[in-house]
Chains A and B, each alone.
Chain A
Amino acid sequence: MPPGDGSRDPGITMWGATSTGKTTFLAALSIALMRQKAQWRVGGTDQASVDRLTELTTRLTADRLFPSATQGVEHYNWELIGTVRRAGQRRWRWLTPTYYDESVRIPLHLIDAPGEAADRSKARGNSVLWDGLLGNMVDSRGIVFFYDPVREFTNGDAFTHTVGVLNELSQRMRSAPGGRLPHYVSVCIAKFDEIKILETADKLGLLEYDLDPPGFPRVPDDEAREFFAQLCTRSDSGDAEMALTLLEQTFWPERIRFFVTSAIGFYVDPHLRMYDRDNYQNHLPPEDENEPEPRPARIRGPVYPINVVEPILWLGKSMAGESGE
């Protein structure tokens, strides 16, 4: 079943440059739902997807390691399982409606492509990955777009990545009504737990703190677009602003939502269980290769994902609503 032939169920494609945290984000999804004690949980619908879900979750929690870099376009057939409250039929109009809980399953056909796939210019000859990503995006109805401000500070290549993919996608979907692509897009401003990002949000006065323990800082969803725009202006390349414009020109603006996310969250002392603004870094860099048995980048403490469920749940619900489910 080749990608791009429309024969697959519409899925959600994870799209972003290399090392923007796409797989870590997926690995954190199940943990995020458990941390929220939410009515929703995530499950796999086939053995391979169940195995991968378990593997990813275990790696992040028990091993406290980040997932390996993705190679090849991976498909995860997961689903969100939960309940929604629905109003029952009234026998007489003047009676108040009765409510009942209905169990709901939102299919999540997630496509995790390596970041290299989105960079045709660098990976010369790598048409397999490029076609894999684009074919799957054509088949998808949802996209999670990852913007890594840390990468943008150092590489300044967000626009280059975005424009190539969107131009190709627009060309392949020329017949889309209204001249815009029909996808729902969750724009994730990733790695909120990184010092630079948190400090920028703080300086911009966009931070709020959760009232409930551990009292994490957050950028509210209605400020997330503004935060993205402000981060783009701080890019050395000066091109990042165009990435935002390009996204909003290519997709229907009402189908784009912005989220400030962190897959691993902030470090919380397991004894104190409170956020400490002087000691919040949860990401440990790799050990020096001269060490006897150097270890890769690790996670310092328990994982507290921030805004990981919300982008996926919004996409899942939007896509389910569109298909009349």
Chain B
Amino acid sequence: MSSGTVAVAVEWALWGKESHDTGYRLLESSDGPVSPQTFVEALTRYSPGTLESLPQVTVSWFRDASEHLYVALAIHETAPGRFDAGGRQIVFTRYFCVRYEELAAEAVCYRTMYEELGQIRLGGHGRAMIKAGFPLSAAEPGTGLPRAVAAAPASAAPASGLAIRAAALLLTGRPVCILGADRTTLDARLQFLDEVMSFLPYGMRSRLSASTRVSSTFQDHKLRLFFSSAPRQAEDHLVAWDRLDLSPIRHRYADDYLSWLVNGVRQPVPLLASVREPMGFSQPEILKVLERLHVSYGTPVSVVADVPPGPAPAPGSQRRAAARHKAAAEVAPPDPEREMSVPEVLISCGRRLEGGNPGFLISDLDRLEAYDPAAVTPEERAYYQGIIADGQLFRPNMRIKKQLQGRLYGLLLRIAFEDPLTYQGYCAIHVCAGYPYGTSLHRSLLLAINPAGQSELSVRLLGLHALGDKELRRVLHDKPLPPGALIGAAANRELQPVHARVLGDIVISDLFDRTGRLDRMGLRQALIRHGCLAPALEELYPDRPSEQVARLSSLLTITYGRTMEPLAVDEILANPMVPPTAALFAAVLGKVDPADAPRTERVFTRALISHEHFPGRMRDELLRLLPADSHLGTAADRGRKLHLPGRSAPPGSPGARRPSLLRQRSQEE
């Protein structure tokens, strides 16, 4: 082992099944002080339940018979071709544990443990304990902290604000469940667990149980911090991965700790990493640690230190590197001797609003105005948005003059969001303001956004709609938009479902209102291009076919009138670009002459077969199996003009067209 590593003794166990087993059991374990029975207890106590998505990692702790504390890391995974007696894939758990004091000596984090221990294969190599080395190079220079403990890159999680809140929530003694992170990687989730723990004393890792994934239907698991796809029926704190909850925790110690992390200490992470004696999450232990950290628990959540107003000092007086300066801005009051950075100004705005000093806000707004938004990078923008959310700078009732409020919103939008505003930016405003996508932003903020002046159509329409239907109708009436642009906006599959539903209804309603002066040819072309919006509607109303049909029926009425001719049916159902949906078929069927219903059905059936990814020969044979129809043939000819695929009718009578595949079967019979 090189001198650049921290040497540790690792005890291990392998949990799983042999091919003749039906149930899970301990397959092998090391012959160290930890007994097989202790391994079984620890493995089953901190089981994450039945996992469909693997691999996953669980961290936990236990004491051996001699009361030594261990920190354990379990890797749950499958092995190709390993099945149990019932023929089911076996989920193996490689379980590693290290004495806590060995880890604490170098403040080793979970990710480092995973990276090193994850490479060790278990089974069939004897029962000896493993000597492992955690690289010292993984430590943050100058702090003695592993990189993952010292700081996580901003891209790993939506914001460190989320980790700070999760850390504070853990002090309530109730488990914390992180939802909405199903699509993130195992690495990102494990890194987040490390990040959360970096905002608590390192010693609490001696009693933490956490997992990158827990079965959402496993109600009685013992994990304290975990990711899940849905909440369980327990009093867990729920944390949304993509949204920062800004409401008070309403727990004395947790709120005070949160306030201390955000406002009361200059650099909490190195300080907390230095507190390494083992400690748990019980109330007496938490009180003890709060006292030690000088957290003024028992006081209401308030500003710990305010920033005196005054002119910004000369730029040359900066004493710290920009990156460190930025990281510190979130947790420390700014140094009066240097120029304030954007994050510091934003934090200061929040404090002034919260602390009842709105009069001093003007100086901050002047500072904000002096910054050049063109110099802001996308990463910085995302960072600023996090501070705006944390400080609730988009809140509606500020007890300041409307004009000042409008100026604040305008400057925040200018510095933290793209101009012109993109749809992603519009969604980010919702997140920052704490408004779910399905609700309207408050009026003052909407006016600052000025939706009518936005170039992106979805932002313009959604913003105007949020301002009120009257406003939307006025703008749409004054300057009607081309139907193609409207349909294109409604067909955008990247919109949030709730926005897509609103936008769809705006478009249908607007087209309906201006029946007399409508560019029908443009509308027809747009409908064909976007499959009459049927695929989008199917996604938006998956279990509500009647709602799909109602909207499709309206669109068809606007375009073709009350009844549809066969040519129009072909145009819509036999669309070579987009396959028809069942709801589209139902809507068309409701508009054709009853005598044309069988023909319509055949067009739909043929279109389905044509669009399925059948091999060419099979598709041709299936199409040949369908009854011949002279009218359809004519329509097919028309379809060819529209470049419809697979419409040529084979010659001969239906009997003569029996495909070879079926003929062969009947001969065998």
- A interface residues (Cβ-Cβ under 8 A, vs B): 1-3, 17-19, 46-49, 51-52, 55, 66, 68-77, 114-116, 119, 122-129, 132, 151, 285-286, 289-291, 293-294, 296-298
CB atoms of A72 and B25 under 8 A apart: no
- Known contacts A19-B85, A72-B50; A115 and B22 CB within 8 A of each other: yes
A291 to B44, CA, bound (A): 33
10 shortest A-B CB distances, which residue pairs?
Answer: A297-B87, A72-B49, A48-B216, A48-B230, A18-B23, A19-B22, A125-B37, A18-B22, A289-B81, A19-B86
Are A73 and B91 in touch, CB under 8 angstroms?
no
- Is residue B371 within 8 Å, beta carbon to beta carbon, of the partner chain? no
Chain A residues, CB < 8 A from B87: 66, 285-286, 296-298
Which of A76, A122, A285 contacts B25, CB < 8 Å? A122
Which of B50, B220, B229 is A70 in contact with, Cβ under 8 Å? B50
**B669 CB to nearest A CB, Å:** 10
B370 at the interface (CB under 8 A from A): no
**Segment at the interface with A among B144-152, B231-239, B455-463, B496-504:** B231-239
- With contacts A19-B85, A296-B87 known, is A68 near B218, CB below 8 A? no
Name the residue of chain B whose CB is nearest to the CB of A21: B86
Judge whether B49 and A123 touch: CB under 8 Å: no
Taking a contact as CB atoms under 8 Å apart, the answer to whether B220 and A73 are in contact is: yes
Q: State in angstroms the CA–CA spacing of A142 and B23 once bound together.
A: 24
CB pair B229–A71 under 8 Å, yes or no, is no
Residue of A nearest to B76 (CB): A71
Q: Which residue of B lies closest to A55 (CB)?
A: B52
17 contacts between A and B (CB under 8 A): A1-B234, A18-B22, A18-B86, A51-B230, A52-B216, A68-B51, A69-B23, A69-B86, A74-B218, A75-B219, A122-B23, A124-B40, A128-B45, A286-B83, A291-B81, A293-B81, A297-B86
**Residue of B81, B90, B219 contacting most chain A CB atoms (<10 Å):** B219
Q: A18-B23, A51-B216 are in contact. Are A127 and B230 (CB under 8 A)?
A: no
The verdict on B614 contacting chain A, using a C-beta distance below 8 Å, is no
20 new A-B contacts at CB < 8 Å, known A71-B49, A124-B40 = A18-B23, A46-B231, A48-B216, A48-B229, A51-B216, A55-B52, A68-B50, A70-B50, A72-B49, A72-B218, A76-B217, A116-B23, A126-B44, A127-B41, A286-B83, A289-B81, A289-B82, A294-B81, A296-B89, A297-B88
CA–CA, A69 to B40, complex, Å?
18
Closest to B24 in A: A116
Q: Is the CB of A123 within 8 A of B230?
A: no
* Among candidates B37, B45, B83, B234, residue contacting A124 with C-beta atoms closer than 8 Å: B37
CB neighbours (8 Å) of B91 from chain A are 68-69, 71
Determine the distance from Cα of A142 to Cα of B83 in the docked complex, in whole angstroms: 32
Q: Is the CB of A68 within 8 A of B89?
A: yes
How far is the CB of A195 from the nearest CB of chain B, in Å?
16
CB pair A3–B233 under 8 Å, yes or no, is no
When C-beta atoms are compared, the residue in chain B nearest to A74 turns out to be B217
Q: Does B47 contact A (CB under 8 A)?
A: yes
B316 at the interface (CB under 8 A from A): no
Report the minimal beta-carbon distance from A210 to chain B, rounded to whole angstroms: 24
B19 CB contacts on chain A under 8 angstroms: 289
Q: How far, in angstroms, from A151 to B44 measured CA to CA in the complex?
A: 25
- Cα A225 to Cα B44 in complex, Å, equals 36
**Residues of chain A within 8 A of B38, CB atoms compared:** 125
Min CB distance B196 to A, Å, is 23
Interface pair A123/B23, CB less than 8 Å apart: yes
B229 & A132 in contact (Cβ 8 Å cutoff): no
Most buried by B among A69, A132, A297: A69
Binding site for A on B (CB under 8 A): 19, 22-25, 36-38, 40-41, 44-45, 47-52, 80-91, 215-221, 228-234
| Chain B nearest Cβ from A313, distance in angstroms | 22
CB-defined contacts of B83 to chain A, threshold 8 Å: 286, 289, 294, 296-297
Q: Which of A66, A129, A286 is the most central at the interface, judged by chain B CB atoms within 10 Å of its CB?
A: A286
Report how far A127 CA is from B41 CA in the complex, Å.
7
Instruction: Please report the C-alpha to C-alpha distance between residue A111 and residue B221 in the assembled complex, in whole angstroms.
Output: 14
B220 touches A132 (CB 8 A): yes
- With A66-B88, A69-B24, A122-B25 in contact, is A129–B44 under 8 Å at CB? yes
B25 adjacent to A123 (CB under 8 Å)? yes
* CA of A55 to CA of B51, assembled, Å: 12
A3 to B81, CA, bound (A): 36
Taking the closest CB of chain A, its distance from the CB of B73, in whole angstroms, is 18
Check A72 against B81 for contact (C-beta < 8 Å): no
**B24, B215, B232, most chain A CB atoms within 10 A:** B24
Give B65 Cβ to nearest chain A Cβ, in Å. 13
Which of A46, A51, A71, A291 meets B24, CB within 8 Å?
A71
Residues of chain B lying within 8 A (CB to CB) of residue A49? 217
Residues of A contacting B231 in the complex (Cβ-Cβ under 8 angstroms): 46-48
Shortest B252–chain A CB gap in Å is 24
* B233 in contact with A77 (CB, 8 Å): yes
Query: Is A115 touching B23 in the complex (CB atoms < 8 A)?
Result: yes
Across the interface, name the chain A residue whose C-beta is closest to B44: A128
- Chain B residues with Cβ below 8 Å from A119 are 23
- With known contacts A74-B50, A132-B220, A125–B40 Cβ distance under 8 A: yes
Contact in complex: B215, A72 (CB < 8 Å): yes
Q: How far is the CB of B281 from chain A (nearest CB, A)?
A: 18
Contact B81 A1 (CB under 8 A): no
Q: From A52, A123, A129, A132, give the contact of B217 (CB < 8 A).
A: A52
A290–B228 CA distance with the chains assembled, in angstroms: 35
Which of A48, A115, A122 has the largest number of chain B CB atoms within 10 A? A48
Considering the complex, give the chain A residue whose CB is closest to the CB of B17.
A69
* Distance to closest chain A CB from B178 (angstroms): 14
Counting chain B CB atoms within 10 Å of each CB, which of A19, A76, A77 scores highest?
A19
Closest B residue to A53 by CB, please name it: B217
Residue of B nearest to A23 (CB): B50
CB distance from A78 to the nearest CB of B (A): 10
Q: Contacts A1-B233, A115-B23; is A69 near B84 (CB within 8 Å)?
A: yes
* B636 → chain A closest CB, angstroms: 29
When C-beta atoms are compared, the residue in chain B nearest to A76 turns out to be B217
Chain B, Cβ-Cβ closest to A283: B87
Q: Is the CB of A2 within 8 A of B85?
A: no
CA distance in complex: A126, B46 (Å): 12
Which residues of the partner chain B approach A76 to less than 8 Å between Cβ atoms?
217
Give bound CA distance, A2 to B25, whole Å.
24
Q: Which residues of B contact A72 (CB under 8 A)?
A: 47-50, 215, 218, 220-221
Residue from A3, A51, A68, A116 in contact with B88 in the complex, judged by beta carbons closer than 8 Å: A68
Whether the pair B233, A46 counts as a contact (CB closer than 8 A) is: yes
Min CB–CB distance B31 → chain A (angstroms): 17
A49 to B83, CA, bound (A): 27
Q: What's the nearest-Cβ distance from chain A to residue B569, in Å?
A: 31
**Nearest chain B residue, comparing its CB with the CB of A155:** B22
Most buried by B among A2, A17, A70: A70
**A68 to B52 CA separation, bound complex (whole angstroms):** 7
Instruction: Determine the distance from Cα of A3 to Cα of B219 in the docked complex, in whole angstroms.
Output: 9
Q: Would you give the shortest CB distance from A296 to chain B, in whole angstroms?
A: 5
Cα(A74)–Cα(B218), bound, Å: 4
Q: How far is the CB of B206 from chain A (nearest CB, A)?
A: 21
Residues of A within 8 A of B37 (CB): 124-125
CB closest residue in chain B, given A111: B219
A129 / chain B contacts, CB cutoff of 8 Å? 44
Known interface pairs A17-B22, A116-B24; A46-B230 also in contact (CB < 8 Å): yes
Query: Quick check: B217 and A75 within 8 Å, CB to CB?
Result: yes
Residue of A nearest to B21 (CB): A18
- In contact, B41 and A125 (Cβ under 8 angstroms): yes
Instruction: Decide if B220 touches A2 in the complex (CB within 8 Å).
Output: yes
Closest approach, in angstroms, between the C-beta of A114 and any C-beta of chain B? 7
Q: How far in angstroms is the closest Cβ of chain A from B13?
A: 12
B89 and chain A: residue at smallest CB distance: A296
Bound-complex Cα distance A172 to B82 (A): 39
How many Å from the CB of B33 to the closest CB on chain A?
16
State which of A128, A151, A290 has its C-beta within 8 Å of the C-beta of B22. A151
Q: Which residues of chain A come closer than 8 Å to B232, judged between CB atoms?
A: 48
Give the chain A neighbours of B48 by CB distance below 8 A: 72
A3 to B222 alpha-carbon distance, docked (Å): 13
